[in-house]
């Protein structure tokens, strides 16, 4: 990872003084609320319909009063952060000012906002809860994690639609790589399954009429909404090694850019996405042939999948590294998608197998990438590029590499 970029991009910039390790992961998802269940769910049968978190019990982490004062997206984030901290082992926050939070979300507390609008319209606006603003504000997720764990360093929220989780992780990694922080809690959290949100996506024809997420498939007809959260704990590598931490992987590169094209449609031919991937690869000091696997954005929408396929061909040629989209299993959870996918990348390295793109059966003949389908594929660990591309033209890519002892 570079700390400065030169006139020609990261390839002629200065290397960061510190390396960044991933030492803890926590997951709340529609296929499991532990890393073991989450991993198993990535290999399960293709779900049909919305990917909701049906077995979530906030009382495991929050008291009754706290539950009422935290939107569901915030409850997810606190739970995932708690699980990540437990997973990180004996992590000591010796200097709270050097431990921070950088979490992404697409819409924040939409459920609370919609509920209270209905309260106002039916019972009168004097009955709206005085906690509405902290319930709905997007930065409540990061703020709540910082307060719960006493993290006094940078506390920021990335709100870049479907790119938010990935961009948050990349920015958090650079906080450590630059020497500003020793530890960062990062990732994304989302719960946007309100009736109004569903109607909005349905009416713009972005959602699947068949109720199936099938990325890159010739019969794909849109995404399925998902919800959930993933928090990763990042730590300066030498610090992690000194305490004997379990190191899942390192974050070696990150990049973001903009299509500057359309509020919802990707730039044709994946030009912006390709540029973002190449910047992340350059930032890691790698070349495209070093990349061993692509964790794709792969939403199952006709335009996005085609543009991403073309972007991968621009960077890697017609013979791409093996590609998977875990949205076949997870659905699309917007601001938390990239974080859940980063955890999937970590577990791909740990288990040495690439999960299949669940639900995908027949690749679109206009998409020329090596999609892993039907069953997992053995993986010789190497650098993984994980991509997220959001409404507004926001692009994010990160390079997650096996830890080299």
Q: Considering the chain, what percentage of its residues have pLDDT values greater than 90?
A: 96
Q: What is the DSSP string of 259-293?
A: --S-SSSPPGGGHHHHHHHHHHHHHTT--GGG--E
Grade residue 80 by pLDDT with cuts at 50, 70 and 90: very high
pTM score of the predicted model: 0.97
Question: Can you tell me whether residue 327 is helix, strand or coil?
Answer: helix
**How many C-beta neighbours within 10 Å does residue 263 have?**
8
Grade residue 404 by pLDDT with cuts at 50, 70 and 90: confident
Active site residues per annotation = 162, 297, 332
Residues 77, 84: contact at Cβ < 8 Å?
no
CB-based contacts of 201, cutoff 8 Å, min separation 6: 207, 225
CB-based contacts of 7, cutoff 8 Å, min separation 6: none
Q: Which helix (H) or strand (E) holds 251?
A: strand 249-258
Residues 71, 112: contact at Cβ < 8 Å?
yes
Alpha helices, DSSP H only, in 204-270?
Answer: 237-242
Q: Which helix (H) or strand (E) holds 219?
A: none
Q: What is the pLDDT of residue 49?
A: 85
Question: Can you tell me whether residue 164 is helix, strand or coil?
Answer: helix
CB-based contacts of 212, cutoff 8 Å, min separation 6: 46, 48, 224, 300, 359
7-47: per-residue pLDDT in tens? Answer: 889 988 999 999 999 999 999 999 999 999 999 999 998 88
Q: Give yes or no for residue 48 having a pLDDT over 90.
A: no
Taking the C-alpha atoms of residue 103 and residue 73, their distance in angstroms, rounded to an integer, is 12
All structural domains of the chain, each given as residue ranges with its CATH number in brackets, are 10-401 (3.40.47.10)
Q: Give yes or no for residue 284 having a pLDDT over 90.
A: yes
Q: What is the pLDDT of residue 96?
A: 98
* Mean pLDDT of all residues in 234-258: 97
Q: What is the pLDDT of residue 46?
A: 84
Q: Give yes or no for residue 183 having a pLDDT over 90.
A: yes
From residue 314, how far is each of 172, 308, 329 by CA, in Å?
28, 10, 27
Q: Which helix (H) or strand (E) holds 100?
A: strand 99-104
100-135: per-residue pLDDT in tens? Answer: 999 999 999 999 999 999 999 999 999 999 999 999
**How many C-beta neighbours within 10 Å does residue 317 have?**
11
């Amino acid at each position: 990872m570079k700390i400065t970029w030169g006139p020609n991009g990261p390839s002629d910039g200065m290397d960061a003084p510190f390396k960044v390790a991933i030492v803890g992961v926590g997951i709340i998802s529609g296929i499991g609320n532990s890393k073991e269940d989450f991993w198993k769910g990535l290999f399960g049968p293709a779900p049909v319909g919305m990917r909701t978190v049906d077995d979530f019990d906030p009382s495991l982490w929050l008291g009754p009063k706290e539950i009422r004062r935290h939107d569901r997206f915030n409850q997810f984030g606190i739970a995932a952060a708690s699980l990540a901290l437990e997973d990180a082992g004996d992590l000591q926050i010796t200097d709270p000012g050097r431990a921070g939070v950088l979490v992404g979300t697409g819409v924040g507390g939409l459920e609370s906002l919609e509920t209270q609008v209905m309260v106002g319209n039916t019972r009168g606006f004097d009955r709206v809860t005085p906690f509405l603003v902290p319930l709905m504000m997007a930065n409540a997720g990061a703020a709540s994690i910082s307060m719960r764990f006493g993290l006094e360093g940078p506390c920021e929220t990335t709100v870049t639609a479907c790119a938010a989780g990935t961009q948050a992780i990349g920015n958090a990694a650079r906080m450590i790589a630059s020497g500003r922080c020793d530890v960062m809690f990062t990732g994304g959290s989302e719960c946007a399954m309100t009736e109004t949100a569903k109607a909005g996506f349905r009416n713009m024809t972005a959602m699947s009429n068949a109720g199936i997420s099938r990325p890159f498939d010739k019969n794909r007809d849109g995404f399925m909404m998902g919800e959930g959260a993933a928090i990763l704990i990042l730590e300066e590598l030498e610090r992690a090694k000194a305490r004997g931490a379990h190191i899942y992987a390192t974050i070696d590169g990150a990049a973001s850019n903009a299509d500057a094209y359309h509020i919802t449609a990707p730039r044709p031919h994946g030009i912006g996405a390709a540029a973002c991937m190449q910047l992340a690869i350059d930032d890691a000091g790698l070349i495209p042939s070093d990349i061993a696997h692509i964790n794709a954005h792969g939403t199952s929408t006709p335009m996005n999948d085609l543009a991403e396929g073309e972007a991968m061909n621009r960077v890697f040629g017609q013979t791409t590294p093996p590609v998977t989209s875990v949205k076949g299993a997870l659905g699309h959870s917007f601001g938390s998608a990239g974080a859940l996918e980063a955890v999937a990348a970590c577990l791909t390295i740990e288990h040495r197998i690439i999960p299949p793109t669940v639900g995908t059966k027949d690749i679109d003949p206009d998409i020329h990438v090596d999609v892993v389908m039907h069953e997992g594929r053995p993986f010789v660990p190497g650098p993984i590029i994980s991509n997220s591309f959001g409404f507004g033209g926001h692009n994010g890519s990160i390079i997650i590499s096996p830890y080299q002892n």
